Amino acid sequence: MHYKSAFISLALVGLVVSQPIGSQSPKDYVVVWHESTTPEERSKHIHMLSKRDSSANIKGHFTIGNSVGIHGEFTPDLVNALSLHPAVDIVEPDTLEYGQQTLYTQNEAPWGLSRISHLQFAPNNTYGNGEYLFLSGNGEHTTVYILDTGIRTTHVEFANRIRWGQNFVDDINDDENGHGTHVAGTAAGSSVGVAKYADIVAVKILNADQTGTLSNFLKAMSWIVDDYKQQIASNSTSHAVINYSAIGETSDARDKAIGAAIDAGIFFVGASGNKEENACDFGPPNFGPNRKGQLIVAALNSTDEPASFTNYGPCIDVYAPGVEVRSSLNNSDTDYGLMSGSSMAAPHVAGLVAYYWSLNQSFSMDEISALIKNSNAGSVLNNFPDTVSNIAFNMANITQN
């Protein structure tokens, strides 16, 4: 695995955050007086500001050459008055400045990683390796909970970033199937994964036949919420996401458990299912776009078309690579192989949640969802009716396109 790096400035917040029109809440601004103003005039002006609007909060002063300025919190009405005042030269929002992110290139990466890091993707029909572009951070200070068949925690893909969380199936703290290890590798493996620096927690709720019970799901979700709260309290992580690459019958209890995890601050990513049916007929996809903090992922093939097996419909949030995805397997610490399914698509998106949060920890769940869902819209070919046509995207090469 070889990485190349370059520097790129990416002001992510500006892409998704806007101030509602007509809002009267105070915001941060900088104000610069004309060079010709005297200290006395500026002092009178400041007094006038406070008198006109008691909510005005001047936080400090600065100089620009021969000009003097202030910065603070002002309402839109006061900002308008300032901009019309003859003594004022400049009034601007006190915007954030962003340091440069390092843009890394991983050559010979699995095709799914290449797809989520490019707006356009040349169809190849071979599912070969490609170029994965990603920004520095890439999962740092985040945790990915893999709710699955367990994980081979000793696999080289996970190094010192993984721990066994809890087992709700049996007393074998290992992955006897391979599904969970493959999913974990795609989400956060060091060479085959999206969020290469994220921490990983194995939570086993599916047996060697990839089946489990609703009750075990509920117990596992409760355990994850408690564990996450402990990690936050000890400053061991900043954000977390759950990947659940399984479906079942619709369930009010499951929906309530997912909602409780989201309320606790944990993002939830689920697979659409592989029945070639409407995803809304199954859980947890049945909530789909109606729930903040949850993304349901359908499977995409290498020609940007829906996978032949994937579920579809209005409960889908986004597509991600899910056919012949190369990732870690459970037979040895260096075992790799191909799997297909919406189970493989979902961890691409779970990894992206961790990826975006590592770039900006102040992102809300809505902002994370918008970045993943809307940055590469209308790209799916020969799509199903009433199904989104968006492909998950990490925006790393946005300036190159």
Measured distance CA(350)–CA(364) in Å, rounded: 15
Side-chain-side CA neighbours of residue 188 (13 Å):
34
**In sequence order, what are the residues at sequence separation of 6 or more whose Cβ sits closer than 8 angstroms to the Cβ of residue 155?**
181, 185, 328, 330, 333, 334, 335
Residue whose pair of structure tokens reads 């075990």 in the numeric block: 216
Measured distance CA(301)–CA(383) in Å, rounded: 12
Longest dimension (CA), the chain: 80
What string of DSSP letters covers 247-273? Answer: -BS--HHHHHHHHHHHHTTEEEEEE--
Altogether, the residues listed in the chain come to a count of: 401
**In sequence order, what are the residues at sequence separation of 6 or more whose Cβ sits closer than 8 angstroms to the Cβ of residue 300?**
115, 306, 307, 310, 319, 320, 321, 322, 323, 345, 380, 391
Q: Rounded to the nearest 5 degrees, what angle is found at the Cα of 5, between the Cα atoms of 303 and 10?
A: 75
The catalytic residue positions are 148, 179, 343
Q: Determine phi and psi for 128, rounding to 5 degrees.
A: -80, 180
Tokens representing 378?
């209308």
Residue whose pair of structure tokens reads 């909530």 in the numeric block: 287
Q: Where are the beta strands (DSSP E) in 126-265?
A: 130-135, 142-148, 162-167, 199-204, 239-244
Measured distance CA(334)–CA(329) in Å, rounded: 8
DSSP state of 52: H
> How far, CA to CA in Å, does 258 sit from each of 7, 47, 228, 367?
38, 53, 14, 19
SS3 144: strand
Count of CB atoms situated within 10 Å of the CB of 377: 13
